[in-house]
Amino acid sequence: MKIMIDAGHGGKDPGAIGNGLREKDLTLKLALRIGQLLAARGADVRYTRTDDTFVELSDRARAANTAKVDYFLSIHINAGGGTGFESFTYTGTSGATAALRNVIHRKVAAAFVASGLPDRGRKQANLAVLRETNMPAALLEYGFIDTAKDAALLKTEAFLEQIATATADGVAEAFGLPAAVVPAPVDTVSEWARAARDWAVSAGITDGTRPRDGVTREEVWTMLWRMNGGK
């Protein structure tokens, strides 16, 4: 199956912000990991963005339509003082769209409940990326960035891995993908470096990806520039 994974927000649009976290960073990390896990099961994975880039909502939907993917999955983190996980399909949709979302929702909601956060339910809304895509689509809201309990979990690699795996398992079950050996996380960070990485991400110095790659002079210049207030 061919899937487009949409990491919400990006670039000039940070999304929701709270408790030292930015939505755009979390959505990208989750999207890349979900995609890696699905590719290991044989899925043809596409992305609306793979770095800290701003992409218009219509362009996200257009990319999925042009690629003629079988499924569109949009990754988001909630805000507004609530707690827990919820999922959305476009207003009035049913059939395959509802059935596929229900399988994915069940897997992810179970991971949240196991961590002490509630299942907020399956919902529908008039959201652009759901309205403008031609294929079955869902948008997932993985916890509330401005709620301390949710944010504390979202700051841990273990919880992010748990919910990414649950999402990939849900998609795999919904589309009948084969089981696969789980690949190592795309961005494994050494234990001793995690606090420094999290600080650098929250300070806007780096997006937190490619932790063990070499650093170019351009990247050093950019990080120093950002530390001194550059945009």
Whether 219 is a known active-site residue: answer no
Taking alpha carbons only, the member of 35, 29, 1 closest to residue 159 is 29
Is the torsion defined by CA of 191, 196, 197, 198 positive or negative?
positive
Choose, from 86, 132, 141, 191, the residue flagged as catalytic.
Answer: 141
Instruction: Give the count of beta carbons closer than 10 Å to the beta carbon of residue 56.
Output: 10
CA 110 to chain centre: 17
Residue 19 tokens, joined? 């408790």
Instruction: Give the contacts of 86 (CB within 8 A, at least 6 positions apart).
Output: 78, 119, 120, 121, 122, 123, 140, 141
Cα(200)–Cα(4) distance, integer angstroms = 29
Which residues have a catalytic role annotated?
Answer: 141
